[in-house]
């Protein structure tokens, strides 16, 4: 299975499906930052990696940068390299306003990370911060211990499985009054009679 097209998946979605998808995105994004604040770096990283499949709902350059940075923080340098490299490709495409610059998708080809997504109108990072990422990539490319293997769907499934197993625990630990997302969706359906 190749990368799915965001326009394909959104085109057949009902309004309820859209609300449910966006609610899930907000839910995961919130817990990503909550985990980061609480020193749970690996879980925050796993959530960031899980959010990559929602590129289009979240600006692509921002999500690749955040996921890459979080991988760096937990010493997953191989993954950080791939993600930051994609971030730089995206930042160049944004600067040139040309999605055609993103021809190589081989690092994500067999995943469900969208390839056909809107190009953000502006870069997430300043020019100086982009240059720091670019320098880190160049430095990492020279290191023998950083491999440049593509991201695999199998690895993403493992990450998402861990997120799924841990998310209930995180909700109970940090947000005592939070309902599980399915309970929120039942309430939304009842409120709008859908």
pLDDT tens track for 125-143:
999 999 999 999 999 888 8
* List of residues 6+ apart from 189 with CB closer than 8 A: 16
3-class DSSP assignment, residue 76: coil
Better-predicted residue by pLDDT, 132 or 14: 132
DSSP code, position 144: T
The sign one gets for the Cα dihedral 181, 182, 187, 193 is positive
Q: How far apart are CA 102 and CA 126, in angstroms?
A: 20
pLDDT tens track for 22-68:
888 898 899 899 999 999 999 999 999 999 999 999 999 999 999 99
Q: Which residues pair with 5 in a beta bridge?
A: 116
CB atoms under 10 Å from CB of 22, counted, come to 12
DSSP code, position 116: B
Do 44 and 70 form a contact (C-beta atoms < 8 A)? yes
Average pLDDT, the chain: 83
Q: Which two tokens stand for residue 84?
A: 């930051």
Whether 191 has a pLDDT exceeding 80, the answer reads: no
Q: Which two tokens stand for residue 32?
A: 């990503």
pLDDT tens track for 86-98:
999 999 999 988 8
Do 85 and 104 form a contact (C-beta atoms < 8 A)? no
3-class DSSP assignment, residue 58: strand
Q: How far apart are CA 79 and CA 107, in angstroms?
A: 10
Whether 1 has a pLDDT exceeding 90, the answer reads: no
Whether 15 has a pLDDT exceeding 60, the answer reads: yes
**What long-range pairs does 61-70 form, CB within 8 A, spacing at least 24?**
61/87, 61/90, 61/91, 61/94, 61/120, 61/123, 61/124, 61/125, 62/120, 62/124, 64/90, 65/124, 65/125, 65/133, 66/32, 68/133, 70/36, 70/41, 70/44, 70/45
> Could you tell me if residue 3 is left (phi over 0), alpha (psi between -120 and 50 degrees) or otherwise beta?
beta
């Amino acid at each position: 299975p190749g990368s799915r097209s965001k326009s394909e998946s959104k085109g057949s979605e009902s309004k309820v499906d859209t609300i449910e998808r966006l609610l899930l995105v907000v839910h995961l994004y919130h817990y990503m930052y909550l985990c980061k604040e609480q020193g749970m770096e690996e879980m925050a990283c796993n959530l960031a990696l899980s959010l990559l499949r929602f590129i289009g709902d979240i600006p692509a350059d921002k999500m690749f940068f955040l996921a890459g940075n979080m991988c760096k923080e937990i010493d997953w340098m191989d993954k950080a390299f791939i993600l930051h490299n994609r971030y730089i490709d995206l930042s160049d495409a944004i600067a040139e306003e040309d999605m055609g610059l993103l021809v190589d998708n081989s690092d994500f080809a067999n995943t469900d990370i969208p390839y056909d997504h809107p190009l953000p109108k502006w870069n997430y990072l300043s020019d100086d911060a982009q240059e720091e990422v670019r320098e880190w990539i160049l430095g990492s490319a020279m290191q023998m211990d950083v491999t440049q293997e593509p991201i695999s769907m199998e690895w993403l499934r493992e990450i998402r499985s861990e997120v799924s197993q841990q998310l209930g625990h995180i909700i109970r630990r940090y947000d005592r009054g939070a309902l599980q997302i399915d309970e929120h969706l039942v309430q939304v359906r009842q409120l709008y009679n859908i």
